Amino acid sequence: MENKITIREAVMENDAALFWEQLHIYYKRDIFPDPNEEERDYFLSDEHRTTIQKIHDRTQDQCYYLFFHRNGQDIGFALPVIYTSEDGKCFVMEYCVYPEYRGGGTGKECAKVLLSWAKGNGALYAELNYGSNDRRLRFWKGVGFIENGFDEWGEPLMLLPPEDEIPFTVELLAEPTDWQLLKLENGFKKDIGEEPITEEKQKQLQQAIREGKITFFVAKRGYRVVGMCSVVKCYSTFSCTDTGIFEDFYIEPVFRGKGVARKLAEAAQAWCKDNGISSLTVCCAPCDEKMYHALGFDIGLGTTLAHIE
């Protein structure tokens, strides 16, 4: 059918070479137009190509070299990964419509074709990083994606919300080095106006978790961790027993308003009761008081003051 956009996978060696040629052109033209940009050399390097090729060649959760094809010619490409071993996430690593074919809705049509292809190959939803680029942000919003926190490196994410309903569960964090915890921590930091957690602070946090200084609870949607909170245990001379401080309360924007907050708060409160912690307190901004009252933090304890070096 004339003007119909289809997906053509680069399977043969010459097609793969063409894919990488176009990918490097895209990096230089659209992503790193300044030759002095710090990351440019890496993305154009053999090291980066080798890393991506390993993902392409693995037997599960592989990426695909795809071309958008119309009227006998390629008009763009995409580099998606489908995580079938996790929760069916399709992560769109790269996406490009060639400049001469942009406009007239071609970009959105290619995106819809890509998402349909992903669904046919086992994907249940899609996620991507838009690189803090306003143009890309507007484009993907037009496709249906929603801004949804930050990744483990502090880069902004967008999510096309899953259509299927999966119950949320809450459990104790099992592994301090879980990359999903870092992703949520960065989302939390950005929400309160702070910079992403540094590598040094990541190690400090992981050590504190191992030593039991802080206990994390994570809300999960199948494999995906979508929210968290923590309890810091401390001794009170007022009650002569352990008390807890409720912190790190964060839920990915797409999954808010679905009862996740209540499940996290109740899990933390129940854990405190089971572990002999006499009270659980939270320090919050005035705008959040009603929310915390609704979650069971209903006893006022005056004003909290702090001295920070």
Residues 66 and 82 in one domain: yes
DSSP 307: -
CA distance readout (Å), 209 to 1, 117, 150, 270: 58, 41, 22, 19
- Answer whether residue 301 is part of any domain: no
User: What DSSP letter does each residue of 105-136 carry, written as one string?
Assistant: THHHHHHHHHHHHHHHTT-SEEEEE-TT-HHH
Residues 97 and 196 in one domain: no
Residues 104 and 31 in one domain: yes
- The pTM (predicted TM-score) of the whole model is 0.90
Q: What is the pLDDT of residues 132-166, one digit of tens each?
A: 889 999 999 999 999 999 999 999 999 999 988 88
Residues 59 and 112 in one domain: yes
Q: What mean pLDDT is predicted for residues 83-101? A: 95
What is the share, in percent, of the chain residues with pLDDT greater than 70? Answer: 99
Q: What mean pLDDT is predicted for residues 73-90? A: 95
pLDDT band for position 1 (50/70/90)? Answer: low
Residues 43 and 144 in one domain: yes
Among the residue ranges 101-105, 121-125, 241-245, the one predicted with the least confidence is 241-245
- Answer whether residue 46 is part of any domain: yes
Of residues 175 and 303, the one with the higher pLDDT is 175
Of 160, 178, 205, which marks where a domain is finished? 160
Looking at residue 40, which CATH number applies to its domain?
3.40.630.30
CA distance readout (Å), 278 to 64, 195, 240, 247, 249: 53, 33, 10, 17, 20
Residues 128 and 180 in one domain: no
pLDDT of residue 79: 98
Cβ neighbours for 268, distance < 8 A, ≥ 6 positions apart: 217, 229, 230, 231, 244, 246, 280
pLDDT of residue 206: 96
Cα 40 to Cα 43: distance, rounded to the nearest angstrom: 5
Of 113, 132, 160, which marks where a domain is finished? 160
Residues 244 and 269 in one domain: yes
Residues 182 and 96 in one domain: no
Residues 199 and 270 in one domain: yes
Domain residues for 135?
A: 5-160
- Answer whether residue 259 is part of any domain: yes
pLDDT of residue 165: 85
- Answer whether residue 34 is part of any domain: yes
pLDDT of residue 123: 95
Cα 21 to Cα 105: distance, rounded to the nearest angstrom: 25
Residues 106 and 208 in one domain: no
Q: What is the pLDDT of residues 274-307, one digit of tens each?
A: 999 988 999 888 888 999 999 999 888 777 766 6
Residue 187, pLDDT above cutoff 70 = yes
Residue 266, pLDDT above cutoff 90 = yes
Number of domains in the chain: 2
pLDDT of residue 94: 97
Averaged pLDDT score across all residues of the chain = 93
Residues 138 and 200 in one domain: no
